[in-house]
Amino acid sequence: MKPSTINLVYFSATYTTKKVVKLIAEQSNSPITEYDITQQSPESNISFNPNDLLIVGMPVYAGRIPVEAAKALQKFKGNHTPAIIVCVYGNRDYDDALLELKDIVTNNGFKTISAGAFIAQHSIFPEVGCNRPDEKDNTFIKHFADQSFELLDSIIDISILSDIKVKGNIPYKQPGSIPLKPKGNSKCNQCGSCVKLCPTQAIPKENPRKTNKDLCISCGRCIVVCPQNARRFGGLLYKVAGKKFVSANSARKEPEVTFSLPPTSINE
């Protein structure tokens, strides 16, 4: 089947997850509807049909998908709707994130036809996975998309496909909060971009150099959107943790993908 609409759902604070899922969707010529859930969850449920396709992308936060993103994703309901699921991680590990993502979409009426774990620059420690996804990644991502669309094209009824297996354990890892929170410096000219774009309203309008540590999820968006380069992670803990993290996680990881299988023929 060729999807009538591709519904692209993603949470992407520093925009790498968005890049990856858009690249996948663009390999098809079906029309695309985008749902960016980074800053807002839909007010009511959004339902899809069997001839739609869901492509969903989530970053990995402490081996899971972000808590806010998991909540927002519950609003998307399938009706035997095929899904391509993607997690994007910063070259450490994706642990239970892809399994968690698969479980959420399955419980909401979708059937996962393919799954991918791709690598991007780490949004807290950018020396790790620096400048990824790169050309080699993009070629791999496009090939994954082509294979996924070919699989979908080759079948009429997705219920014949096997249940896809992805890496991960149950119970999932406990969601961890990261003790590192960015703040602004004297270069800030109060333009307000970070205030407007912070997913959790953790930056006070009256003083954007500050951060409400209870609200901040350490996503790194305020750093990448600041035109003055005025916000950053810092402090002794960041320096010490960063050194250790970079030396433990710098070896290049490669993407992993998996596909749901059509039933084998009786003659085989």
Ligand X SMILES: Cc1cc2nc3c(=O)[nH]c(=O)nc-3n(C[C@H](O)[C@H](O)[C@H](O)COP(=O)(O)O)c2cc1C
In this structure, what are the phi and psi dihedrals at residue 196, rounded to the nearest 5 degrees?
Answer: -70, -35
In sequence order, which residues have a C-beta less than 8 Å from that of residue 103 and are 6 or more positions away?
A: none
Both tokens of 202, joined, read 């953790």
Supply the minimum distance, in Å, between the C-beta of residue 183 and ligand SF4.
8
Counting Cβ atoms within 10 Å, is residue 177 exposed (0-12), middle (13-18) or buried (19+)?
Answer: exposed
- Cα-based distances in Å from 37 to 69, 201, 251, 260: 7, 14, 31, 27
Q: Is 217 in the site for ligand SF4 (CB under 6 A)?
A: yes
Q: Which stretch binds ligand X (CB under 6 A): 9-17, 29-37, 72-80, 142-150?
A: 9-17
String marking each residue 176-195 x if it binds ligand SF4 according to CB under 6 A: ------x-x---xxxxxxx-
178 binding partner (options ligand SF4, ligand X, none; Cβ < 5 to 8 Å by kind): ligand X
Q: Is 220 in the site for ligand SF4 (CB under 6 A)?
A: yes
Q: What is the number of the residue whose Cβ is closest to ligand X?
A: 90
How far apart, in whole angstroms, are the C-alpha atoms of residue 233 and residue 14? 14
Q: Which stretch binds ligand SF4 (CB under 6 A): 15-23, 87-95, 103-111, 228-236?
A: 228-236
Q: Is 83 in the site for ligand SF4 (CB under 6 A)?
A: no
Cis peptide before 133 (omega within 30 of 0): yes
191 binding partner (options ligand X, ligand SF4, none; Cβ < 5 to 8 Å by kind): ligand SF4
- Cα-based distances in Å from 118 to 78, 178, 194, 224: 24, 22, 27, 20
Supply the minimum distance, in Å, between the C-beta of residue 57 and ligand X.
8
Binding residues vs ligand SF4 (CB under 6 A): 13, 182, 184, 188-194, 198-200, 202-203, 208, 211, 216-222, 226, 228, 230-231
